[in-house]
């Protein structure tokens, strides 16, 4: 008799456990992909849902945006420069059914695809583009990833290249190149200044040549400037044409 009561108690506990296992609670950002005898049934959630034990199984899917670091990749640019690049991608599951059925592990698949896409896209550009046009490269990588992950029900929202690391020899070469570029610009600016000054002097000479009084005024102005200095003796030539003007 005691054994029957014990057996009945065990059955009751198993039944209660079975009933409790039917109820699942999914948070607002979670969905449950339900399978009925191995076949896809429907997507449920959020809130309280009921699962038929043995007949149905549920796989939880998180719909929040995932921030994933792309490990550092060795990339050879189009101009044969070896660099190390890492990035971060932002994506989320838009279709839980596809994310579970179409790919075994969508997180691992997205990570591997991000690494290969990063190397592929950056390898088509030169080093200067990697350093100066990151926004364009980010957009290109994001567009390509989004197209490839669409079949998995995943939306890639953004891609950001974090670091482009160069070896020491390349850093020194870039520094020399930047210094040479600064020197070139300085020489160009100096040459433009000399050209502009020469043009102004030529214009002034033409003006003075057409106006005799202008030459006289410029001569007298020069004398005033010399007299302003602390000189005890001033020796200056007196042009003959000015004397002739004064006699008149």
138 contacts: CB under 8 Å, gap ≥ 6: 158, 159, 160, 161
For 23-90, what is the HEC assignment?
A: EEEECCCEEEEEEECCEEEEEECCEEEECCCCCEEEEEEECCCEEEEEEEEEEECCCCCEEEEEEEEE
Answering whether pTM is above 0.75, one says no
Predicted local confidence at residue 81, as pLDDT: 84
**Residue-level pLDDT at 107:** 94
User: Do 93 and 63 touch, CB atoms closer than 8 A?
Assistant: yes
pLDDT in the model for residue 226? 64
Q: What pLDDT, on a 0 to 100 scale, did the predictor assign at position 109?
A: 95
Instruction: Give residue 243's pLDDT.
Output: 53
pLDDT score of 17: 76
Q: Which of 114, 120, 108 is nearest to 160 (CA)?
A: 114
Pick the CATH number of 66-166 from 3.30.479.30, 3.40.718.10, 3.60.110.10, 2.160.10.10: 3.30.479.30
Low-confidence ranges of the chain (pLDDT < 50): none
**pLDDT for 187:** 83
Residue 22: the pLDDT is: 87
Q: Is 222 helix (H, G, I), strand (E, B) or coil?
A: helix
Distance between start and end Cα atoms, the chain: 154
- At residue 113, the pLDDT reads 95
pLDDT at 171: 59
**Domain map of the chain by residue range?**
18-61, 66-166, 172-225+235-247
Assigned token pair, 195: 């050209």
Tokens 């609670």 belong to which residue? 25
pLDDT, residue 234, reads 56
Q: What is the pLDDT of residue 146?
A: 94
């Amino acid at each position: 008799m005691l054994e029957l009561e014990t057996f009945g108690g065990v059955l009751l506990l198993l039944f209660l456990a079975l009933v409790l296992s039917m109820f699942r609670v999914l948070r607002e950002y979670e969905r449950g992909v339900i399978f009925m005898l191995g076949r896809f049934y429907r997507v449920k959630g959020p809130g309280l849902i009921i699962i038929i034990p043995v007949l149905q199984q549920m796989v939880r899917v998180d719909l929040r945006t995932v921030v994933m670091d792309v490990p550092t990749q060795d990339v050879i640019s189009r101009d044969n420069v070896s660099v190390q690049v890492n990035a971060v991608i932002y994506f989320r599951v838009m279709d839980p059914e596809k994310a579970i059925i179409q790919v075994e592990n969508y997180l691992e698949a997205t990570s591997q695809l991000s690494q290969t896409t990063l190397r592929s896209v950056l390898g088509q550009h030169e080093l200067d583009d990697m350093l100066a046009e990151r926004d364009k490269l980010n957009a290109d990588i994001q567009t390509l990833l989004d197209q490839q992950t669409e079949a998995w029900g995943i939306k890639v929202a953004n891609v950001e290249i974090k670091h482009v690391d160069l070896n020491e020899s390349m850093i020194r070469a870039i520094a020399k190149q930047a210094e040479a570029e600064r020197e070139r610009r300085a020489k160009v600016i100096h040459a433009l200044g000399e050209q502009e000054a020469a043009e102004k002097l030529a214009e002034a000479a033409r003006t003075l040549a057409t106006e005799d009084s202008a030459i006289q005024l410029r001569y007298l102005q020069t004398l005033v400037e010399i007299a302003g200095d602390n000189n005890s003796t001033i020796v200056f030539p007196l042009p003959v044409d000015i004397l002739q003007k004064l006699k008149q």
